[in-house]
């Protein structure tokens, strides 16, 4: 269902938004998370399950709620972006952008000519309500949220040139992959990694571009907002299912230490 995108307006007005990853590609899980009140859901097709075909069921689940749907695509690929845009997603996240050229290519893939290179089938695709949203072609570029991920040392090095590219709505710092490109995978508190993150943060904030990330070790989503981020992912469907299950099982085992699982 084509509709206006309130997430863009909230971010443009310097508001904070809280989201959640969904990795499992399941429309029922997606619907539960959307109904719970998150501002947005990132439907992860880089590391999560799903493809442009199965995506439509998740988007239908989100469309009946106030949450904004964002797909993280596997790569900066204009063909894949075209598929998820035609499916009707309200935002896209493009991983591992390292240069201004890559940033321009990402934005161009999301726009119809002459502003970009997106192929058009607006008369028939779900994104335009199967051709029934008369204003789709004229408004879809301004309505779509484009999130670019900076998650490498090279991306941080080129941050100013990337920020010069018109059309970026959110710059999302991926701390874990960034730490890996610096030989410190997962060690986000390493001084070199911390300095790289801080440099990226300072440059993004100086340009007034909304900044996104995930909570860092020892920092909650509240801490990240206090640090100047506006767009923060608070966990995932996998983590919520896993952690809740582990906590219950642990408590049960502590209460009944002699309990044994029945043989299969």
pLDDT score for 111: 98
Number of folded domains in the chain? 1
Please say whether the dihedral angle defined by the alpha carbons of residues 111, 87, 67 and 34, taken in this order, is positive or negative.
Answer: negative
- Per the domain annotation, does 154 fall within a domain? yes
In this structure, is residue 148 part of a structural domain?
Answer: yes
**Is 71 exposed, middle or buried, given 0-12, 13-18 or 19+ CB atoms closer than 10 A?**
buried
The residue annotated as part of the active site, out of 47, 78, 199, 216, is 47
For residue 120, being part of any structural domain is answered with yes
What are the residues facing 123 on neighbouring strands? none
Q: What is the pLDDT of residues 176-190, one digit of tens each?
A: 999 999 999 999 999
pLDDT in the model for residue 221: 95
The question of whether 28 is a catalytic residue gets the answer no
Contact 96, 105 (CB under 8 A): no
Structural domain contains residue 62: yes
The CATH number that applies at residue 241 is 3.20.20.60
Residues 127-131: what's their mean pLDDT?
98
User: Domain range holding 245?
Assistant: 6-255
Half-sphere exposure of residue 33: CA atoms within 13 angstroms, side-chain side: 32
pLDDT digits (tens, 9 = 90+) for 63-114: 999 999 999 999 999 999 999 999 999 999 999 999 999 999 999 999 999 9
Q: Report the C-alpha gap between 217 and 193 in whole angstroms.
A: 13
pLDDT digits (tens, 9 = 90+) for 242-258: 999 999 999 999 999 88
Is residue 264 situated within a structural domain?
no
* Percent of residues, the chain, with pLDDT higher than 90: 95
- Structural domain includes residue 262: no
């Amino acid at each position: 269902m084509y509709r206006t995108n309130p997430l863009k307006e909230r971010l443009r007005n310097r508001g904070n938004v809280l989201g959640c990853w969904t990795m499992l590609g399941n429309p029922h899980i997606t619907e539960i998370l959307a109904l719970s009140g998150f501002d947005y859901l990132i439907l992860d097709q880089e590391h999560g399950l799903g493809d442009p075909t199965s995506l439509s069921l998740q988007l239908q689940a989100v469309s009946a709620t106030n949450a904004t749907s964002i797909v993280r695509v596997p790569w900066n690929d204009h063909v894949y972006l075209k598929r998820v845009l035609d499916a009707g997603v309200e935002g896209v996240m493009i991983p591992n952008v390292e240069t201004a050229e890559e940033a321009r290519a990402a934005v161009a893939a999301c726009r119809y000519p002459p502003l970009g290179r997106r192929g058009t089938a607006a008369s028939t695709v779900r994104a335009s309500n199967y051709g029934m949203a008369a204003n789709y072609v004229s408004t879809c570029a301004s309505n779509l949220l484009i999130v670019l991920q900076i998650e490498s040392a090279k991306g941080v090095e080129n941050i100013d040139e990337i920020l010069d590219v018109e059309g970026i709505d959110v710059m999302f710092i991926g701390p874990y992959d960034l730490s890996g490109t610096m030989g410190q995978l997962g060690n986000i508190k390493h001084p070199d990694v911390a300095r790289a993150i801080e440099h990226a943060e300072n440059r993004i904030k100086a340009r007034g571009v909304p900044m996104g990330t995930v909570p860092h070790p020892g920092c909650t989503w509240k801490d990240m907002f206090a640090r100047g981020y506006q767009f923060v992912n608070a966990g995932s469907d996998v983590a919520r299912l896993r952690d809740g299950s582990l906590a219950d099982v642990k408590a049960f085992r502590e209460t009944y230490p002699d309990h044994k699982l029945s043989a299969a």
